[in-house]
């Protein structure tokens, strides 16, 4: 890779619970009031990886299952680490939309009522911002004073930007960095998708286009009643058109809901699309120069064309839509089996399971969609080429959302497979640091999903055929039988135990997975980092690192400015009369 003159920063953030909080700031001898070492004019790429819902126990489980109790994950190899604090302005537990908005804007916001905006009033304890008794979200400015997230500020300052998510495009872990809607609803998801392509209200075309947008959520890009692509249309695209990458035209919907073509399907959909405004957003994206890819075959053809030089990534904008909604199928193991989402081509004893955890069933265009690390690898090729062309570092946010969603359904194997993909995504980010040390990789999660723990069995004793359950709450013992916490085995409840990879003695140790519940919980998250400015975690943020500090590290890396932690401050309301043409992104106003 050609060496650049800037430095790159990669940030990995596990959703729901990242622990980035700066210490209360006092001026140092050299006048630094930021608490993170003062301005550092060496700038570089910023990669923010957000394995949603993952805490230390989650990573411990992933390590044991995939590498063995004595093994090493890519996550383990990130050299800097610090506990993460992720509380909101109005509640202890972080929400996906509130955590993402805090990561993106640099202020603590209301947990429920925020999505690139904030319902919190100037006095946090006074409650929500009310209009006629109803909470209304306020457009806000970022910590630098810019009316937008650090990712939007970077894009509008000429830095190539992009997002990757294995949920749908409207997932807040990435979407709150590019869109501003104030709430997380199905109706808002349509506007979230639109803003990715056509910019935010008041900015519109003045918002620089992200050069990479990849995830699920195809239905958000097509009007209601759009026909599904026929086999003839898909085959015609596959046969090629003379172009380096043949793609399916944006006149039909590729993806049906998972299981829609199986005999167990109750009411197969007749048409696709969810937009109620009549806008074919997919075609609008193509008209704006995006290459639209929706199947593994199209994705691999594009990746191969980039690798071979048949397609110049510096002139490429990618819109990947690899499922109708989320790319993963976040249900219990029992539900997937009952719905027939089992892949007969995969052995039942396969370590990764034969359940269809991603995409749609065999024989459909959505079968075996690209994984999170595969999308990240193509994204870095495109972003790096654009960065070389622009002469500025790139900024990107990657989220593995399924680590959160599978755990919220207490689906153990789904959670473990997603953790592996999150780890492989971190490996892609670490490769960028190896290629260009001027890159920061930072990880965090806004909360911990499900409260995963492992219950092990002694290999010197008889290992049970199925995982069974464990006692909970002995205070209730006098009232009858103890309540039970039902464990998960390889295929859900009352199935055989998992086996770790061999430990240092060559033993594969059996275990079942226990869950504290289905919600997101607070605490136990460890943020890790490598590359440019990673040492800030150990040198300045070792005592307190919270969700606000994700913004500060990103800003320091991209723009070289060390911003002061907003102690006791909530997000300022954005003025109504923002002059977009007069903005100078990349220059703090505070």
Q: Domains in the chain, please, with CATH?
A: 9-453+519-576 (3.40.720.10), 454-515 (no CATH)
pLDDT at 480: 74
Q: State the chain's mean pLDDT as an integer.
A: 92
Tokens of residue 387, six digits = 């960065």
**Section 475-501 average pLDDT:** 91
* pLDDT bracket for residue 27 (50, 70, 90): very low
Q: Which residue has the higher pLDDT, 244 or 190?
A: 190
Phi then psi dihedrals of residue 398, to 5 deg: -120, 135
* Backbone Cα Rg of the chain: 23
**Section 267-285 average pLDDT:** 96
| Residues of the binding site for Zn(2+) | 404, 446
**Section 432-447 average pLDDT:** 97
3-state helix, strand, coil in the chain (%, to 5): 30, 20, 50
pLDDT at 374: 98
pLDDT at 277: 96
Which of 118-122, 304-308, 425-429, 538-542 is predicted with the least confidence, judged by mean pLDDT?
118-122
Tokens of residue 45, six digits = 């790429």
> Which one of 8-17, 21-30, 239-248 scores highest in mean pLDDT?
239-248
**Section 506-524 average pLDDT:** 96
Task: Write down the residue that tokens 């093994």 correspond to.
Answer: 71
The candidate with the shortest Cα–Cα distance to 180, out of 226, 138, 241, is 138
Do 419 and 61 form a contact (C-beta atoms < 8 A)? yes
Task: Write down the residue that tokens 């920061």 correspond to.
Answer: 440
Residue 251 pLDDT greater than 70, yes or no = yes
| Residues of the binding site | 401, 404, 446
The candidate with the shortest Cα–Cα distance to 390, out of 231, 158, 42, is 158
Distance between CA atoms of 54 and 84, rounded to whole angstroms? Answer: 12
Do 411 and 331 form a contact (C-beta atoms < 8 A)? yes
* pLDDT bracket for residue 59 (50, 70, 90): very high
pLDDT at 32: 67
**Section 260-289 average pLDDT:** 96
Residue 363 pLDDT greater than 90, yes or no = yes
What does the pLDDT look like over 130-182, one tens digit per residue? Answer: 778 777 889 999 999 999 999 999 999 999 999 999 999 999 999 999 999 98
Beta-carbon-side half-sphere exposure of residue 209 (alpha carbons within 13 Å): 20
Cβ burial of 31 (10 Å; 0-12, 13-18, 19+) is exposed
How far apart, in Å, are the Cα atoms of 136 and each of 102, 257, 569?
18, 34, 19
Cβ burial of 201 (10 Å; 0-12, 13-18, 19+) is middle
Percentage of residues in the chain having pLDDT higher than 70: 93
Distance between CA atoms of 118 and 165, rounded to whole angstroms? Answer: 23
Do 145 and 377 form a contact (C-beta atoms < 8 A)? no
Residues near 467 by beta carbon (within 8 Å), at least 6 away in sequence: 455, 487, 488, 489, 493, 494, 495, 496, 497, 512, 513
Cβ burial of 237 (10 Å; 0-12, 13-18, 19+) is buried
| Residues of the binding site for Mg(2+) | 401
Cβ neighbours of 316 (radius 10 Å):
21
Residue 254 pLDDT greater than 80, yes or no = yes
Residue 269 pLDDT greater than 60, yes or no = yes
Do 100 and 446 form a contact (C-beta atoms < 8 A)? yes
pTM for this model (two decimals): 0.94
Distance between CA atoms of 325 and 366, rounded to whole angstroms? Answer: 11
What does the pLDDT look like over 393-403, one tens digit per residue? Answer: 999 999 999 99
Q: Which residues pair with 557 in a beta bridge?
A: none
**Section 543-548 average pLDDT:** 96
Distance between CA atoms of 524 and 352, rounded to whole angstroms? Answer: 26
Do 502 and 509 form a contact (C-beta atoms < 8 A)? no
């Amino acid at each position: 890779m050609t060496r650049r003159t800037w430095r790159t920063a990669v940030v990995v953030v596990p959703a729901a619970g990242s622990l980035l909080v700066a210490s209360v700031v006092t001026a140092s001898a050299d006048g630094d009031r930021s608490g993170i070492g003062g301005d550092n004019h060496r700038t570089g790429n910023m990669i923010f990886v957000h394995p949603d819902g993952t805490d230390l126990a989650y990573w411990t489980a992933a390590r044991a299952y995939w590498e063995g109790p004595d093994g090493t994950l890519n996550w383990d190899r990130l050299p800097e680490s610090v506990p993460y604090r992720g509380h909101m302005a109005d509640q202890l537990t972080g929400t996906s939309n509130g955590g993402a908005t805090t990561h993106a804007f640099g202020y603590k916001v209301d947990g429920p009522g925020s999505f690139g905006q904030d319902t919190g009033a100037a006095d946090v304890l006074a409650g929500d911002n009310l209009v006629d008794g109803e909470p209304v979200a306020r457009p806000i400015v970022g910590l630098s004073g810019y009316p937008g997230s650090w990712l939007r500020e970077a894009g509008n300052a000429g830095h190539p930007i992009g997002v990757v998510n294995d949920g749908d495009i409207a997932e807040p872990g990435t979407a709150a960095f590019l869109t501003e809607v104030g709430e997380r609803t199905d109706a808002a998801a349509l506007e979230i998708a639109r803003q990715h392509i056509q910019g935010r209200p008041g900015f519109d075309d003045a918002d620089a286009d992200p050069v990479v947008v990849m995830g699920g959520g195809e239905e958000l890009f097509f009007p209601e009643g759009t026909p599904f692509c026929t086999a003839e249309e898909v085959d015609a695209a596959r046969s090629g058109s003379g172009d380096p990458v043949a793609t399916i035209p944006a006149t039909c919907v590729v993806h049906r809901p998972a299981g829609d073509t199986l005999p167990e399907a109750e009411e197969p959909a007749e048409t696709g699309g969810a937009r109620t405004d009549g806008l074919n957003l997919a075609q609008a994206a193509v008209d704006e120069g995006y290459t639209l890819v929706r199947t593994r075959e199209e994705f691999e053809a594009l990746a191969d064309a980039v690798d071979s030089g048949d397609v110049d990534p510096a002139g490429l904008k990618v819109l990947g839509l690899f499922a109708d909604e989320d790319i993963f199928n976040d249900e219990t193991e029992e539900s997937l089996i009952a719905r027939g989402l089992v892949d007969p081509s995969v052995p039942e004893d396969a370590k990764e399971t034969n359940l269809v955890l991603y995409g749609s069933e065999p024989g459909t265009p959505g079968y075996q969609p690209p994984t999170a690390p595969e999308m990240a690898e193509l994204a870095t090729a495109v972003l790096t080429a654009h960065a070389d062309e622009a002469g500025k570092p790139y900024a990107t946010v990657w989220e593995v959302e399924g680590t959160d969603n599978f755990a919220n359904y207490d689906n153990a194997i789904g959670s473990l497979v997603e953790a592996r993909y999150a780890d492989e995504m971190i490996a892609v980010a670490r490769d960028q640091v190896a290629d260009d040390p001027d890159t920061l990789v930072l990880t965090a999660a806004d909360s911990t999903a499900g409260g995963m723990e492992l219950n092990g069995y002694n290999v010197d004793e008889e290992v049970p055929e199925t995982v069974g359950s464990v006692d909970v709450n002995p205070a209730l013992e006098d009232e009858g039988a103890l309540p039970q916490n039902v464990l998960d085995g390889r295929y859900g409840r009352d199935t055989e135990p998992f086996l770790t990879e061999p430990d240092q003695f060559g033993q594969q140790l059996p275990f079942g997975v226990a869950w504290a519940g289905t919600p997101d919980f607070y605490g136990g998250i460890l943020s890790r980092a490598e590359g440019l400015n990673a040492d800030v975690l150990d040198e300045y943020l070792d005592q307190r690192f919270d969700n606000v500090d994700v913004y500060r590290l990103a800003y320091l890396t991209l723009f070289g400015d060390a911003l002061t932690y907003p102690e006791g401050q909530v997000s300022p309301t954005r003025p109504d009369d923002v002059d977009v043409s007069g903005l100078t992104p990349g220059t703090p106003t505070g």
